Amino acid sequence: MPKKSILSTSQMEFREEQRERSSGNALSDLPAAIVTGANGGIGREITAGLLHRGFQVIMACRNPERASQVRERLIQEGRGTDLASRIRIEPLDLASCDSIQAFVSRLSTTGQPINLLINNAGATFKTFDTTTDGIERTFATNCLGPILLTERLLPLMVRTDDSVTAARIVNTISLTARYARFKGGFPDSSAHSYRRLQAYGRSKLALLIYTAQLAERTTGQNIVVNAADPGIVDTGIISMQCWYDSLADLIFRPLIRTPQKGAQAALHAASASHSGYIYSPAGARRIPNRIFHHPARETLASLWKSFL
């Protein structure tokens, strides 16, 4: 069982092993991680943390220009180490099924095994909108996209009997999932009843339900599947895009977590030994049973399967 707030022995072994691997080894020997939204506030810090642990990182980002600036800064900050060869950018728009398919096809042709997938990217939208695939944009970005990406990447993930080097998947959720309800079904389909935070919370609840399902489904396959809740973190996503933003920034932002602290939940989950947990700043706790048996689980599964 993962312990609260501290790293388990196997997590420490894992870090040590990754560090040893990164010193002087060929690129192909290094474990490979994909981080979605790697140019964002928390994604950048997750990427920095993984590089420090000896991973090669694929920054899966929808805006390669923004990603490239972040990549350059990470390389500069990592003075003396050969980071440039260990970070690469791959375009990915999670709100587009075609983009997800193209991303996975590009990876498949390289034949590179993937050790770690961190589904970190996320967004909120002030007004109702649908994607070219006809799905409400919050749900498409935060839930359907990460699910399709995960399902398509599963065949590329490493298979090993060694629990320390097992493949790992981390899905980023939020506190808002706790208060979300699927009244009237999902995804949201009406501009009239659309509420930004509700849509966000529902998308994260649905992602948590999927995480529980996948953890169950992959039992005994040496794939460790968990969720990470970063807490409230000083990044762009918490801006309400309203007149009072600058006032709220002044009062509120100094009190909340830095992106570096916000990245810790995902980084701990990235070396977890057991599936089915939520990693947060308070430690690791089992995903509640009501999520494993959620009444929406079958509806959700048929929805994403219809897009595969």
Ligand X SMILES: NC(=O)c1ccc[n+]([C@@H]2O[C@H](COP(=O)([O-])OP(=O)(O)OC[C@H]3O[C@@H](n4cnc5c(N)ncnc54)[C@H](OP(=O)(O)O)[C@@H]3O)[C@@H](O)[C@H]2O)c1
Site residues (vs ligand X, CB under 6 A)? 36-37, 39-43, 61-63, 66, 92-95, 120-123, 141, 172, 174, 230, 232-233, 235-238
Contacts of 181 (CB under 8 A, 6+ apart): 202
Tokens of 228: 């990470």
Tokens of 210: 């999927």
Whole-number minimum distance, CB 122 to ligand X, in Å?
2
CB within 8 Å of 206: residues ≥ 6 apart? 139, 143, 186, 296, 300
Least distance to ligand X from the beta carbon of 47, Å?
10
* Smallest distance from ligand X to CB 308, Å: 18
- What is the smallest separation between the CB atom of 217 and ligand X, expressed in angstroms? 22
* Smaller CB separation from ligand X, 48 or 94: 94
Question: Can you tell me the distance from the alpha carbon of 297 to that of 301, in angstroms, rounded to the nearest whole number?
Answer: 6
Q: Is 194 assigned a catalytic role?
A: yes
**8 Å CB contact between 13 and 97:** no
Q: Whose Cβ is closer to ligand X: residue 40's or residue 54's?
A: 40
Kindly tell me which of 164 and 237 has the beta carbon lying closer to ligand X. 237
The dihedral sign for the CA sequence 273, 169, 74, 124 = negative
DSSP H or E segment with residue 12: helix 9-22
Contacts of 277 by beta carbon, 8 Å cutoff, 6+ apart: 2, 226, 227, 269, 284, 285, 286, 287
Which DSSP string corresponds to 107-137? HHHHT--B-EEEE------SS--B-TTSSBH
DSSP 8-state symbol, 3: P
CB of 63 or CB of 108, closer to ligand X: 63
* Cβ atoms of residues 38 and 73 within 8 Å: no
CB of 236: closest distance to ligand X in angstroms?
Answer: 4
> In the complex, what is the shortest distance from the CB of residue 166 to ligand X, in angstroms, rounded to a whole number?
23
CA angle 201, 207, 211 (to 5 degrees): 140
Q: Give the residue with the Cβ less far from ligand X, 142 or 275.
A: 142
Q: Give yes or no for a contact between 271 and 168, defined as CB atoms under 8 angstroms apart.
A: yes
- Select 63 or 85, whichever has its Cβ closest to ligand X: 63
Q: Which residues are part of the catalytic machinery? A: 194
